[in-house]
Structure 1
Amino acid sequence: MLRQVEIAVKHLEDYRPIVESEVIEEILDLAEPLKGSRVVHVNATDYGGGVAEILQALVPLMRDVGLDAHWQVIEGSNEFFNVTKAFHNGLQGMDIPLTQEMKATWIRYNQLNAKKFEGPGNGLWDFAVIHDPQPAGLCQLTRGRPARHWIWRCHIDTSQPNREYWDFLVPYLQLYETGIFTMREYVGPGCEFEKLAIIPPTIDPLSPKNLPMDLAEAADIVRRLGVDPDRPLISQISRFDPWKDPLGVIDTYKQVKQVLPEIQLALVGSMASDDPEGWNYLEKTCRRAGEDPDVCIRHNFNGAGAREVNAFQTHSHVIVQKSTREGFGLVVTEALWKGKPVIGGNVGGIPLQIVHGVSGYLVNSMPETAEVVIDLLQHPSKADAMGRAGREHVRKHFLLTRYLRDYLRLFRDLSTCM
């Protein structure tokens, strides 16, 4: 069988002081007829990246409200994950070739994992949620046997894909009863599901990364990791990936530094097991930064875990997410939840989160990014007001309880259609 991920314990009642009680009561009402339903989420990795973070929070809450929820991870090698990283890039439109060898690798590992994907005991999963392109072949290659309802959850923007990749993947997707996308615009051409659900991601406000942190503690942590806490700091928290444009962030920082020489930059990333390309891009990022002592580059293998990310976000004066393509960008949500103004690329799911001119700015170029960074650093009262507005926007729209509610609504609708 596929590897089971150990699940922590979470309690829905712990979220009542953060969200309205009506939200908690609606969730409990939705969960009541679903109690005992067998749910499995399948993805490519249990650490690093937004999908793993979502499942670390979502699956325990599904259990807490009475579902028999599980999380399983597929098997793969560097060969496979290099191919699936190309799929990720190609599905977002990158002009890279899809060779017959790459297709064969993807099929071979999906066949391997399909043989290991089993129902619970001697029964069936009521709902199998398969995340992203890495395991997308499971439904077809198992002939749908281990589950009653098959759901493909796409976390990336496939609206303008490289057609080689999309046309290869679509026949595997068409067998899924339901497709979940972050935005309706993300659904790629020629792919239709019996049911389409639009569910933007959310963050867990009670995770170590998002719990309130004392400013003094945050200052101590960033000092230990090489930042002077007495000087202004801008940060980008994301994978080292060409779509996140860390090289462009460094160029922006250099332009800001010409006006505000005391500024520092932190680039903090999470290296994931399904992203071997990330190490190559980390090396590129380090080369672009050069020997500049005011650029701090950290990741989860050299001291930057969840609490350290929290510290960088809490201590930063401005946070940047200069993506050129973005499925959603949970790091934007995290930063807004910390009460920080965020400057984000005007792409993908970022405009869902940043209200331009209210909680931050949406930008389209490096000079524009530098201009608004300078403006916010020079006008801290404006930055503080934007931070407050952003936190409230997240509280209303992008916390875990809303995500759980949306899934329960979907499961209820699918159950009543049986």
Structure 2
Amino acid sequence: MELVKTDLKSYQDYQEIIDTNTKAQLDYFANKLQGKKIAMVNATSFGGGVAEILHSFVPLARDMGLNIDWWVIKGTDEFYNVTKSFHNCLQGEEGQLSAEAKEIYLKYNQMNAARVDEWNYDFIVIHDPQPAALIEYLKAKEGAKWIWRCHIDTSTPNPEYWNFLYQYIKQYDACVFTMEEFVKEHELLRNLTFITPSIDPLSPKNIKLEEEEAQRIIVRFGVDIHRPLISQISRFDPWKDPLGVIDVYKIVKKELPSVQLTLVGSMASDDPEGWDYLYRTLRRAGEDYDIKVITNFNGVSNKEVNAFQTVSDVLLQKSIREGFGLTVSEGLWKGTPVIGGNVGGIKYQIKDGVTGYLVETVEECAEKVLRLLRNPNLAQEMMEAGQERVRRHFLITTNILNYLKLFDKLENPDEYQYH
């Protein structure tokens, strides 16, 4: 395993954004947990929502006075190919878990555990399936509390994959999911907790960009700022349905020939399947020069994503399955209407018809895109409602507070037994 270095963040900078009640609770629990050591563990330091959250969570928590480290497990393609199948099958894809896949999965968990000495942490938070078996092999200090945090939609998991993983999950002192409907074993998991992911309003991806600056950035990628723009910001993954997004665009273009589409995504180190799906997306786009497929290998970083989310007339997150979908809250925070698949955590972020639209089909999605492009006043109303919803529920400060409450509950269970 490898310790991740993060940039510094100042808690003071967030004071004007968060409400007084959140601030008071953060100060209370941060003070109560002084001296406790916290470890966050996941599979990659870049690409994907978990890494993005931790790049803000860890340094901000440190500036609050908390003793927190972030570790990333190490693996090769054989490990990431296996864990990608875990990801897909836990979200409902069919398939058999072979003996070889189990062996590879456990081998890398054991190897990563062997690379560190005894861990002197009070709270160890393991994110997602990749490092879930570390609890079997990693020697932690006496009394350490282990928390497994699942970020994916496990509402209808492949039983074979779930049952294999469950033998490790059930050992944890607490399990955190995004939504109640994602939990298969309600009564058997200890300290079941629900915490939504969050965005950092002061990160380069989410801090306010002036419209003119944002326009200058996206022009570099061949976008015409004088014509309507639809965008989807996400990994190239079958669950994100980029092929369906292109189909939506084609329907809209028949009604509104001037429309453009951008598909913007980063290629994560733990997602070897992403390259295959990127090529499939490019094939579906064909020679339509109003479709731009852009990745971090084309010079897209957080600021460029911010610009696309700021300038786009409509943002899509047309997922088929979705643990949460941080890009929804990102878009809402920037005041851009968002249309999302009626699945998973997207349903929690978008209030249908108020902050955006929830859709089931390509045709329904295209109809809602056309409605927003033709009704700017409606888009403005959704902008204001969406920003306020994110402020209240989906900022990084609220995310940290929810974890601190869980840590305190695990540390002082007697104080919570009648709650």
Into which bin does the TM-score normalised by the smaller protein fall? over 0.9
Cross-structure match for 1:273: 269
Q: Distance in 2 between matches of 1:379 and 1:235?
A: 18
Cross-structure match for 2:7: 8
1:398 Cα deviation from its structure 2 partner: 0.5
Q: Distance in 2 between matches of 1:14 and 1:411?
A: 25
Contact conserved, 2:233 with 2:305, CA < 8 A, in 1?
yes
Cross-structure match for 1:91: 90
Contact conserved, 1:247 with 1:285, CA < 8 A, in 2?
yes
> Which amino acid letter does the alignment assign opposite residue 64 of structure 1?
D
- Answering whether residue 355 of structure 2 is matched by residue 359 of structure 1, we say yes
Contact conserved, 1:341 with 1:387, CA < 8 A, in 2?
yes
Structure 2 residues without counterparts, runs of 5 or longer: 415-419
Contact conserved, 1:117 with 1:146, CA < 8 A, in 2?
no
Residue-by-residue CA offset, 1:232-286 (whole Å, 9 max, x unaligned): 1000000000000000000000000000000000000011100011011000000
Q: Distance in 1 between matches of 2:61 and 2:212?
A: 35
- SS of the aligned residue for 2:188 comes to coil
The 5-angstrom pairing of residues 271-310 of structure 1 reads 271-310=267-306
Q: Distance in 2 between matches of 1:281 and 1:297?
A: 12
- Answering whether residue 373 of structure 2 is matched by residue 374 of structure 1, we say no
Cross-structure match for 2:61: 62
Q: Single out whichever of 27-36 and 246-255 deviates more from structure 2.
A: 27-36
Residue-by-residue CA offset, 1:333-364 (whole Å, 9 max, x unaligned): 10000011110000000011001001110000
Of 334, 337, 343, the residue aligned with 2:333 is: 337
Q: Distance in 1 between matches of 2:149 and 2:386?
A: 27
- Answering whether residue 204 of structure 2 is matched by residue 205 of structure 1, we say no
Cross-structure match for 1:169: 165
Q: Distance in 1 between matches of 2:12 and 2:24?
A: 10
1:191 Cα deviation from its structure 2 partner: 7.3
1:143 Cα deviation from its structure 2 partner: 5.6
- SS of the aligned residue for 2:144 comes to strand
Q: Distance in 1 between matches of 2:208 and 2:106?
A: 44
The 5-angstrom pairing of residues 104-123 of structure 1 reads 104-119=103-118
Residue-by-residue CA offset, 1:9-53 (whole Å, 9 max, x unaligned): 112221111121231121001111111211000000000000000
Q: Distance in 2 between matches of 1:191 and 1:48?
A: 34
Of 316, 336, 355, the residue aligned with 1:320 is: 316
Q: Distance in 2 between matches of 1:147 and 1:57?
A: 28
Cross-structure match for 1:261: 257
> Which amino acid letter does the alignment assign opposite residue 137 of structure 1?
A
1:106 Cα deviation from its structure 2 partner: 0.4
The 5-angstrom pairing of residues 199-238 of structure 1 reads 199-238=195-234
Q: Distance in 2 between matches of 1:215 and 1:95?
A: 45
- SS of the aligned residue for 1:301 comes to helix
- Answering whether residue 78 of structure 2 is matched by residue 79 of structure 1, we say yes
Cross-structure match for 1:138: 134
Which structure 1 residue ranges, 4+ long, deviate > 4 Å from structure 2?
A: 143-147
Identity level (%): 54
> Which amino acid letter does the alignment assign opposite residue 155 of structure 1?
H
- SS of the aligned residue for 1:48 comes to coil
Cross-structure match for 1:243: 239
Q: Which TM-score applies when normalising by structure 2?
A: 0.97
Contact conserved, 1:359 with 1:387, CA < 8 A, in 2?
yes
Q: Distance in 2 between matches of 1:38 and 1:356?
A: 41
> Which amino acid letter does the alignment assign opposite residue 105 of structure 2?
W
Q: Distance in 2 between matches of 1:93 and 1:272?
A: 21
1:99 Cα deviation from its structure 2 partner: 1.3
Cross-structure match for 2:417: none
1:300 Cα deviation from its structure 2 partner: 1.1
1:192 Cα deviation from its structure 2 partner: 2.4
Counting matched residue pairs gives 414
Q: Distance in 2 between matches of 1:246 and 1:117?
A: 40
Cross-structure match for 2:35: 36
Structure 1 residues without counterparts, runs of 5 or longer: none
Cross-structure match for 1:23: 22
Q: Distance in 2 between matches of 1:258 and 1:195?
A: 52
| Distance change >3 Å, CA 238–CA 146, structure 1 → 2 | farther
Q: Single out whichever of 265-274 and 18-27 deviates more from structure 2.
A: 18-27
Cross-structure match for 1:417: 413
Contact conserved, 1:319 with 1:340, CA < 8 A, in 2?
yes
Cross-structure match for 1:50: 49
Of 365, 368, 385, the residue aligned with 2:381 is: 385
Q: Distance in 2 between matches of 1:188 and 1:280?
A: 31
1:144 Cα deviation from its structure 2 partner: 5.0
Contact conserved, 1:127 with 1:147, CA < 8 A, in 2?
no
Residue-by-residue CA offset, 1:288-346 (whole Å, 9 max, x unaligned): 00011000111112111000000000000000000000000000010000011110000
Q: Distance in 2 between matches of 1:144 and 1:233?
A: 51
> Which amino acid letter does the alignment assign opposite residue 285 of structure 1?
T
1:97 Cα deviation from its structure 2 partner: 2.3
- Answering whether residue 400 of structure 2 is matched by residue 404 of structure 1, we say yes
> Which amino acid letter does the alignment assign opposite residue 174 of structure 2?
T
| Distance change >3 Å, CA 415–CA 146, structure 1 → 2 | closer
Q: Distance in 1 between matches of 2:149 and 2:79?
A: 20
Q: Which TM-score applies when normalising by structure 1?
A: 0.97
Alignment RMSD (CA, Å): 1.3
- SS of the aligned residue for 1:266 comes to strand
